[in-house]
């Protein structure tokens, strides 16, 4: 612990010196003074937003929050008319009133569990579908911090808190009164910034989970900036990937069993740089470059520290700057046209650290199982209105039993259903 | 750059649902004014409070007013007077109240003398704790972040103390809980004094 704090603190001195040298104007810019011990006993919860630059001054995550009174079913349905999809596809409202909807997971009996992040104050909700009519239940109402990451397997609901993964047995039969959870894993750092998670089961019942650094850009404290593979049955874990910034989306390739994940690149380097990434873990322990190298070919102006980008694994695909790719899934259904099989659908939450918003859409990625020939096209777009404001912010997708695709939108507190018919 | 920021914040603060996308009614400041007659007893006839521990609402950002009413209504923010009042409000009334109070001229404060050491201490704490990043270059607020300039000093101090003890939780990312974590009571007094005396 001690070594880690000292190491991190010396990095912080370097950052502070850099900022100091960059001129008197910086005193008007928001910056974090990490050059003291107290900072490291409790890095600020909003440190993920990072030090401001003149170019992007005034951009702030808070600006992208939905209005307080949220939206009615009618308002959300009216906005869906703005969404563009390829021919033959349609989008409809599946459920509204799912406050702050983040990662989704299917129960065995068809209950859709939905995690939340900032606004729903630690709740997990469930969308119950009875004969086509949906109702919303808050199944966990307190005691959790930023439970964005959830998963379901063999009757049990798994929920990631900042530093614990909980298991709620027999969850679907007890929606009104979940049993007390067991802690199945707790070897995770306590940092709030980038402490929210996304959980992905592989076929053997191990979970993939990424642990983000508590900062925008820094020398990551030990045990952050990595993806782990965790066996919730006994707490065993291995490190799958290193050099990873904030990753809140991933899936297992049905063709190979390999893990793929989205990664949000650092902020404040420019309106259009560096690109967010889609990564493919081809071998255990690969390093994807953070904080030294971004998008596979941009050395960090401060944190390259002598490293070359060629030392690190490049992304399978550069998804573009500030797109905020979050939840992703391989399309494994059979309702969509045949060429969608095993494509990746990525939910892009959209930017905050950019003067003009971009993202706020679903992308369709086609890529070979070995990571070659990656290409993307827009699948669903239109969540940024003609006036440049958000109409919605998709952040997760999940394939339904009938092959349709559900989409979570935390801006509208809504779940959509995208279906295809000839 | 100031421009971009202000435009952005205005865009959020003045959030009015456009007819193009939805059937909802636009916020109606006139209806809000009528409704606000019931608030005047404590918050002042023109939204400028003369009541201890009761905030001035004039010139607060539209979104800030709305968020606080929603927090009172849902019980996230607890207050025995405001709780029952907010419970009786529907979404449209909350939007109208936001629009009304945002349209009023903010309170005029007594400018502190340059030599006021407490205000000076507050000014430097405000820089150290990055207050401008959410509350705006002139602390006039924006979006869900409150206007602080010219607010009653007792209100500001109580808010800081409540954030520190966890009695109150902010809108975004727990920033206020976090900022106050490091503040001593003397620090909070200095900050409240500085903001209250800002023009």
Mean pLDDT by 10 residues, chain B (199 residues): 41 36 66 96 96 97 95 90 96 96 88 78 92 90 93 97 88 78 95 91
Would you tell me the crossing angle of helices B185-196 and B117-128 to the nearest 10 degrees? 100
Chain A residue nearest residue B92, CA to CA:
A69
pLDDT score for A15: 38
Cα distance between residue A250 and residue A261, in whole Å: 4
For the sheet containing A325-330, what is the strand order?
A325-330, A344-348, A361-366, A375-380
Chain A residue nearest residue B8, CA to CA:
A63
Nearest to B66 among A45, A67, A121 (CB): A67
Chain A residue nearest residue B68, CA to CA:
A68
Q: What is the pLDDT of residues B44-102, one digit of tens each?
A: 999 999 999 999 999 999 999 999 999 999 888 899 999 999 999 999 999 999 999 99
Q: What is the pLDDT of residues A260-315, one digit of tens each?
A: 999 999 999 999 999 999 999 999 999 999 999 999 999 999 999 999 999 999 99
Cβ-defined contact of A63 to B12 (cutoff 8 Å): yes
Q: Is the pLDDT of residue A12 over 80?
A: no
Nearest to A30 among B94, B130, B171 (CB): B130
Chosen from A68, A382, A388 to mutate, greatest number of chain B CBs within 10 A: A68
Indicate the pLDDT class of residue A28, thresholds 50, 70 and 90: confident
* Comparison of pLDDT for A120 and B16, the residue scoring more: A120
Chain A: nearest CA to B66, how far in angstroms?
6
Chain B residue nearest residue A55, CA to CA:
B1
pLDDT score for B171: 73
Cβ-defined contact of A62 to B144 (cutoff 8 Å): yes
Residues of B in contact with A194 (CB under 8 A): none
**What mean pLDDT, rounded, does chain A reach?**
92
Nearest to A75 among B24, B132, B144 (CB): B24
**Contact assessment for residue A191 and residue A241, using Cβ atoms and an 8 Å cutoff:** no
Q: Is the pLDDT of residue A362 over 70?
A: yes
Q: Is the pLDDT of residue A27 over 50?
A: no
Chosen from A62, A119, A191 to mutate, greatest number of chain B CBs within 10 A: A62
pLDDT score for A10: 40
Q: What is the pLDDT of residues A183-235, one digit of tens each?
A: 999 999 999 999 999 999 999 999 999 999 999 999 999 999 999 999 999 99
Cβ-defined contact of B70 to A44 (cutoff 8 Å): no
Cβ-defined contact of B169 to A31 (cutoff 8 Å): no
Please report where in the chains the tokens 């009015």 appear, as a residue: B16
Could you tell me how many residues make up chain A?
A: 422
Indicate the pLDDT class of residue A317, thresholds 50, 70 and 90: very high
Give the phi and the psi of residue B181 in degrees, each rounded to 5.
Answer: -50, -40
Cα distance between residue A276 and residue A352, in whole Å: 13
A68 touches chain B (CB under 8 A): yes
* Comparison of pLDDT for A327 and A38, the residue scoring more: A327
The complex's ipTM?
A: 0.75
Q: Which A residues 153-212 touch B at CB under 8 Å?
A: 192
């Amino acid at each position: 612990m001690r070594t880690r704090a000292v190491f991190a603190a010396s990095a912080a001195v370097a950052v502070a010196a850099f900022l100091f040298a960059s001129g008197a104007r910086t005193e008007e810019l928001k910056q974090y003074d990490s050059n003291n011990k107290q900072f490291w006993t409790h890095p600020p919860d909003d440190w993920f937003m990072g030090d401001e630059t003149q170019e992007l001054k005034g951009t702030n995550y808070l600006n992208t929050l939905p209005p307080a009174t949220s939206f009615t079913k009618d308002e959300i349905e009216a906005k869906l008319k703005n969404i563009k999809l390829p021919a033959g596809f349609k989008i409809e409202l599946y459920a509204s009133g799912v406050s702050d909807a983040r990662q989704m997971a299917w129960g065995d009996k068809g209950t859709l569990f939905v995690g939340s992040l900032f606004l729903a104050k630690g709740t997990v909700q469930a969308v119950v579908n009875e004969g086509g009519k949906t109702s919303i239940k808050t199944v966990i109402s307190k005691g959790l911090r930023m439970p964005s990451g959830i998963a379901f397997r063999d009757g049990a609901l798994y929920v990631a808190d900042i530093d614990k993964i909980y298991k709620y047995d027999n969850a679907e039969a007890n929606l009104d009164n979940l049993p007390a959870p067991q802690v199945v894993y707790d070897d995770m750092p306590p940092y709030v910034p980038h402490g929210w998670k996304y959980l992905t089961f592989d076929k053997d019942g191990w979970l993939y989970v990424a642990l983000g650094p508590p900062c925008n850009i820094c020398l990551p404290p030990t045990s952050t900036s990595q993806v782990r593979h965790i066996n919730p049955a006994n707490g065993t874990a291995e490190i799958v990937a290193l050099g990873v910034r904030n990753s809140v989306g991933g899936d297992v390739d049905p063709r190979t069993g390999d893990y793929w994940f989205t990664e949000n690149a650092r902020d404040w380097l420019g309106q259009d740089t560096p690109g967010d990434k889609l990564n493919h873990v081809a071998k255990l322990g690969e390093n994807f470059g953070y904080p030294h190298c971004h998008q596979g070919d941009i050395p960090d102006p401060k944190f390259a520290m002598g490293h070359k980008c060629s030392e690190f694994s490049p992304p399978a695909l550069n998804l573009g700057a500030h797109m905020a790719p979050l939840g992703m899934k391989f399309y494994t259904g059979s309702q969509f046209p045949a060429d969608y099989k095993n494509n990746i659908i990525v939910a892009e939450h959209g930017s905050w650290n950019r003067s003009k918003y971009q993202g706020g859409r679903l992308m369709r990625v086609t890529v070979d199982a070995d990571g070659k020939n990656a290409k993307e096209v827009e699948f669903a777009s239109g969540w940024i209105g003609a006036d440049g404001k958000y109409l919605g912010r998709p952040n997760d997708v999940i394939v339904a039993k009938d092959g349709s695709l559900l989409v979570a939108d935390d801006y509208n507190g809504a779940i959509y259903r995208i279906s295809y018919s000839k | 750059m100031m421009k971009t920021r202000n435009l952005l914040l205005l865009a959020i603060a003045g959030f009015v649902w456009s007819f193009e996308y939805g059937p909802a009614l636009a916020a109606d400041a006139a209806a809000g004014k009528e409704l606000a007659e019931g608030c005047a007893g404590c918050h002042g006839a023109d939204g400028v409070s003369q009541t201890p521990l009761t905030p001035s609402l004039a010139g607060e950002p539209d979104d800030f007013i709305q968020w606080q009413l929603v927090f009172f209504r849902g019980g996230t923010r607890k207050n025995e007077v405001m709780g029952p009042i907010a419970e009786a409000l529907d979404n449209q009334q909350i939007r109208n109240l936001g629009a009304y109070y945002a349209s009023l001229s903010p309170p005029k404060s007594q400018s502190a003398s340059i030599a006021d050491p407490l205000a000076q201490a507050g000014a430097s704490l405000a820089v150290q704790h990055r207050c401008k990043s959410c509350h705006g270059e002139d602390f006039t607020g924006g979006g869900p972040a409150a206007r602080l300039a010219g607010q009653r000093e007792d209100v500001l101090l109580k808010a800081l103390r409540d954030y520190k003890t966890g009695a109150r939780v902010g809108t975004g990312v727990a920033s206020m809980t976090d900022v106050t974590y490091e503040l001593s009571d003397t620090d909070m007094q200095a900050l409240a004094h500085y903001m209250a005396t800002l023009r």
